[in-house]
Structure 1
Amino acid sequence: MAPRAIWKGLLKIAEVSCPVALHAAASTSERIAFHTLNRATGNRVRRQFTDSDTGKPVEKDDQVKGYEVSDGDYVILEPEEIAGAVPDSDKTLTVACFITCKDIDDVYFDRPYYLTPADRTAEEAFALIREGMRRKKMAALARAVLFRRVRTVLVRPHGPGMIATTLNFDYEVRPASEAFRDISNLKIKGEMLDLAKHIIDTKMGEFDITAFDDRYEAALADLVKAKQEGRKIAPKKPEKRENVVDLMAALRESAGLATKKAAPRKKTPAARRKSG
């Protein structure tokens, strides 16, 4: 059974529309979560808002949103005023234009969702839109009110369904020039560049996310289990890291190790299924 949809509406391209559903593609529900406890009693503690000047607790009915316009000076916004600013939703994912995937910088990617037909009657229109984009190797840029905000969404074919990725707005993404402005414009060439390319060639592979483990989550799970069983886990000693002094020597050593360890590329799950 498919997971329950978190949003349903229409995918609209000109006069063509298709009932669709959004499903969460990423989730943190499987991560280990902790509660804050009172060490003395073992009971959970609860958070309480207090007045910054008087230190007295402020009950929920007395709490209100405020925007700071200057130090200590706030514009107070009532709940109904904020609710009035939320855009009306017509439950329509309206396609503005089609682009090639290489035309968009993935730094703007926010959150992925699976996009499916909302019901059996929508499957033909859904397949028509999906296959049209697949044949043309295009993605759609659409707009919709999702979860109380106007969002720009990138829609791409993906297997029998589609992926809808919400995009950050321009003002939400810092210019790369801010982070890169202090990087020197060094020219790398000759043997140093050849060694770097050789190391990359010998470590070529294919994308297989299952090959990577969340070591932190695994360590937390082991720790919780050990505490339950009354065992003690000795803290790991931090690995000693040596500063690289001679970059060329390090490259030559890495190239030698990479050549020795080079192995056939690992097949992805999809490739394994095809060969099987």
Structure 2
Amino acid sequence: MAGARANWKGFLTIGEIACPVALYTAASTSERIAFHMINRKTGNRVHRIFVDPQTGKEVDRADQVKGYALDDSRFVMLEPDEIAKAVPDSDKRLAVDGFIPCDQVDTLYFDRPYYLTPADKGGLEAFSVIRDAMQAASVAALARAVLFRRVRSLLIRPDARGLIAHTLNYDYEVRAAGEAFEDLPDIRIQKNMLELARHIVETKKGEFDPAGFDDRYEAAVADLVRAKLAGKPLKRAAKKAPAPVIDLMAALRESAGLVAGTGTAGPKRKTAPRKSGTKRAA
């Protein structure tokens, strides 16, 4: 990746095959609008300080140490060198443990995406062999590496010209779906309601187009900043709150008519964010 700085460099290893690779961040939040805390009276930027709640005094940086909480009042203090010794040293290997079907890992386990490329021209042939073999078999690789001072599991899948890697959440980090849905009761849906809902879904099918999604928060903040600089009031769009659905069947019929126009399915389009004001279940 020309001009980009690799987050990590090492070797992708499969058995006795070792290929020099580089890992690049595939998604970045650096372009998002960020705020600073300002003293309203002076206009100066303020900074955080650490205060001991018992003494009320500021704690110098030299006296600040990480602590593992045993309970609300007891901590085990850990020095930086102790933590460093406990973390396994990186051997610069992205070791493949095995291969699985590309769609077998639930997206709930996906953490951060990366691009994986050859680190130099000398590794291009080995890299291409691995990529093409994975494409031919329609499989992804499960691998492990010490990344950013942590042992991480990664899912590596082939792309058109390279490899895409996702760091994976550990099983204990992913909450079971049952915890979120255990209070939802089972209800029987009327057949004609389900048919109308399926019709709405079918007529609104499209293709995923990430360019069709805009960050409305970022745009709104940018408009606000421009208005403040120009000394003009920000024009606010009138908000229309969604009407609560009293008759679900009537809402389904109305939605089906809006989607289909004259009752026939409309043309398929790329998926875009839904505008506010559409009827939905309360």
Q: TM-score range by the shorter chain?
A: over 0.9
1:183 aligns to what SS in structure 2? coil
Q: For the residues of structure 2 that align with 1:228 and 1:235, how far apart are their CA atoms?
A: 17
Cα shift readout 1:175-195 (whole Å, capped 9, x = no counterpart): 111111011122324111100
Q: TM-score, normalised by structure 2?
A: 0.91
**Residues 1:46 and 2:40 are matched in the alignment:** no
2:108 aligns to what SS in structure 1? helix
Cα shift readout 1:216-251 (whole Å, capped 9, x = no counterpart): 101111111111111111445543222111111111
C-alpha RMSD of matched pairs (Å)? 1.5
Provide the residue aligned with 1:151 in structure 2.
Answer: 152
> Which amino acid counterpart does residue 268 of structure 2 have in structure 1?
R
Provide the residue aligned with 2:170 in structure 1.
Answer: 169
User: Structure 1: 5+ residue runs without aligned partners?
Assistant: 269-276
**Residues 1:115 and 2:116 are matched in the alignment:** yes
Q: For the residues of structure 1 that align with 2:124 and 2:33, how far apart are their CA atoms?
A: 38
User: Structure 2: 5+ residue runs without aligned partners?
Assistant: 272-282
- Compute the displacement of 1:264 (Å): 2.8
**Residues 1:202 and 2:203 are matched in the alignment:** yes
Aligned partner of 2:268 among 265, 272, 276 = 265
4+ long deviations beyond 3 Å: 234-238
1:164 aligns to what SS in structure 2? strand
Q: Aligned runs of 1:65-80 on 2, under 5 Å?
A: 65-80=66-81
Q: Aligned runs of 1:175-190 on 2, under 5 Å?
A: 175-190=176-191
Q: TM-score, normalised by structure 1?
A: 0.93
Provide the residue aligned with 2:217 in structure 1.
Answer: 216
- Compute the displacement of 1:267 (Å): 6.6
Q: For the residues of structure 1 that align with 2:154 and 2:223, how far apart are their CA atoms?
A: 39
> Which amino acid counterpart does residue 174 of structure 2 have in structure 1?
V
1:102 aligns to what SS in structure 2? coil
- Compute the displacement of 1:263 (Å): 4.1
Provide the residue aligned with 1:128 in structure 2.
Answer: 129
- Compute the displacement of 1:118 (Å): 0.5
Q: For the residues of structure 2 that align with 1:256 and 1:2, how far apart are their CA atoms?
A: 51
Provide the residue aligned with 2:11 in structure 1.
Answer: 10
Provide the residue aligned with 2:278 in structure 1.
Answer: none
